Each structure stands twice: as structure tokens, then as C-alpha cells.
């Protein structure tokens, strides 16, 4: 008899880190989702200038922690792998939904911006598409140094009410060999989900595969001025 796969849900402890003033006193809340192999307590430090500018920054951590090399030493985290991916996606979407409710008590205060970096881009866009709150509850989405996942719902209505999508890429990013081709690919995936062409905004900076705080701050400032 062949082995059978079974699933069941069980409680687990998740963690996140915060910077900046509390939501009620902040310019808005920025949810920043880290990339593969990063940990939230170190990733969130990259957004200290954003917090100093008056934003409440929330950095959740992916549930898959592992040693980066061998069986000891530095630890990193990821959001998922190819193994049992649908279960992992459902789990992290549920975690992120619960976190957002915990942060704002179900009553969002100020601007709500979603940012993903590297692997966190795919996580952020899946949360945008599959989360319990409508896409229109966000005031902006930032895809930093990553690509949109190919498994987003292909529907004209999925992102019809989505806010602006800001694509940020470093000109020396070793993982993105052709910046313009990457922008075009993300645009196609965005349009396939019902997103609007005029809501996609491209940004580049001189640098590699790293968070560029000045560009992020520039994007957030443009959102403030638009509202």
C-alpha cells in the first residue's frame, strides 16, 4: 500500500519586529517582507530612515528558519520552498492577515503600504491577492528587487482596484540581468491580474541586491503627496 499524505492545522508561534512611532501617530504603516535567508530583526534595520521620517514599520518573519551554512552558525528564514507550497502559502497568508489585524485592530490608521524585497515580493503579491482584506485597502505596493509570482489569480477583477505598484531594481543587481526585461515581465503579470498599466511605476538605483532606503523613502513621499 502506498503512503498517503495528510495535513492538519496546529498553532505555532510567529514573530515580527517594529520600528517607528505607533500607528496612531505615524504617517502610515509600512509592512516590509524580507527576502530569502534573512531574519526580520536585521532586515528591519534597513528601514530605520523610514521610521525616523515618521512611518510605523512592521517586519514579519517567514516561518522557515534554517542554518545558512551547514548545521550551525548564522540563521536565516524563508517564506516557502517548492515542497508542499500551497499549504505554506495558505499558512503565511493567514499569519500576515492575523498580524495586520493585530497591528491595527481591524481599523487601519493612516496609509497602509505593502513592500516585498527579493523573495518577499512574491510573498507580498500573494498576500495582496489572497488576503482577507480587499486589495483596495492598501495605499501602495512596492516590489523591491524581485519579480511577481507567476501563480497570481488570472482575473480581470483580481487587481482592478489595486493601488500603484512601484517596481524598484538596482542597476547592478546580479539576480536581475536585464532590468527592462524584468520590468516588462512584471508588467505582464500585473496586467494578467487586472492591474492597470498607468499604475505601474519604475524606479532604479545605483546598487546591487539590497534595500535602497532613499528610493523607498522617495516612493513613500510620493504616496503622501498623492493623497
Grid cell of 114 as nine digits: 505593502
- Helix pair 85-104, 119-130: axis angle to 10 deg: 70
Grid look-up 548545521 returns 71
How far apart are alpha carbons 5 and 160 in whole angstroms? Answer: 37
- Sequence-distant (6+) residues with CB within 8 A of 18 are 44, 56, 57, 58, 59
How much is the pLDDT for 226? 59
How far apart are alpha carbons 17 and 173 in whole angstroms? Answer: 27
C-alpha Rg value of the chain to the nearest Å: 17
How much is the pLDDT for 227? 52
How far apart are alpha carbons 53 and 162 in whole angstroms? Answer: 25
Element at 201 (helix H, strand E): strand 200-205
Nearest to 60 by CA among 22, 85, 32: 32
pLDDT tens track of the chain, all 227 residues? 889 999 998 888 999 999 999 998 999 999 999 999 999 999 999 999 999 999 999 999 999 998 999 999 999 999 999 999 999 999 999 999 999 999 988 777 789 999 999 999 999 999 999 999 999 999 999 999 999 998 998 888 899 999 999 999 999 999 988 888 888 889 999 999 999 999 999 999 999 999 999 999 999 998 876 55
The domains found in the chain, sorted by start residue, are: 16-226 (3.40.50.1820)
End-to-end distance of the chain based on CA atoms, in angstroms?
62
How much is the pLDDT for 38? 97
How much is the pLDDT for 182? 87
Alpha-carbon distances of 104 from 23, 92, 99, 129, 213, rounded to whole Å:
7, 18, 9, 20, 24
Task: Residue 192: count other Cβ atoms within 10 Å of its Cβ.
Answer: 17
Grid look-up 538605483 returns 205
How far apart are alpha carbons 167 and 200 in whole angstroms? Answer: 7
Nearest to 203 by CA among 169, 175, 163, 157: 169
Amino acid at each position: 500500500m502506498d503512503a498517503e499524505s495528510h495535513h492538519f492545522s496546529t498553532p505555532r508561534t510567529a514573530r515580527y519586529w517594529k520600528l517607528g512611532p505607533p500607528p496612531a501617530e505615524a504617517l502610515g504603516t509600512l509592512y516590509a517582507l524580507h527576502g530569502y535567508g534573512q531574519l526580520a530583526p536585521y532586515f528591519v534595520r534597513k528601514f530605520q530612515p523610514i521610521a525616523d521620517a515618521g512611518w510605523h514599520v512592521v517586519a514579519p518573519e517567514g516561518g522557515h528558519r534554517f542554518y545558512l551554512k551547514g548545521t550551525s552558525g548564522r540563521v536565516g528564514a524563508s517564506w516557502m520552498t517548492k515542497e508542499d507550497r500551497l499549504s505554506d502559502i495558505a499558512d503565511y497568508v493567514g499569519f500576515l492577515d492575523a498580524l495586520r489585524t493585530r497591528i491595527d485592530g481591524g481599523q487601519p490608521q493612516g496609509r497602509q503600504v505593502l513592500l516585498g524585497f527579493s523573495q518577499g515580493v512574491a510573498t507580498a503579491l500573494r498576500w495582496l491577492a489572497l488576503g482577507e482584506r480587499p486589495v483596495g485597502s492598501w495605499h501602495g505596493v512596492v516590489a523591491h528587487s524581485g519579480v511577481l509570482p507567476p501563480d497570481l489569480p488570472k482575473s480581470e477583477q483580481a487587481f482592478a482596484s489595486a493601488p500603484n505598484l512601484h517596481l524598484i531594481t538596482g542597476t547592478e543587481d546580479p539576480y536581475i540581468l536585464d532590468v527592462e526585461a524584468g520590468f516588462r515581465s512584471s508588467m505582464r503579470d500585473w496586467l494578467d491580474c487586472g492591474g492597470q498599466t498607468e499604475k505601474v511605476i519604475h524606479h532604479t538605483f545605483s546598487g546591487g541586491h539590497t534595500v535602497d532606503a532613499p528610493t523607498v523613502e522617495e516612493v513613500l513621499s510620493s504616496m503622501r503627496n498623492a493623497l
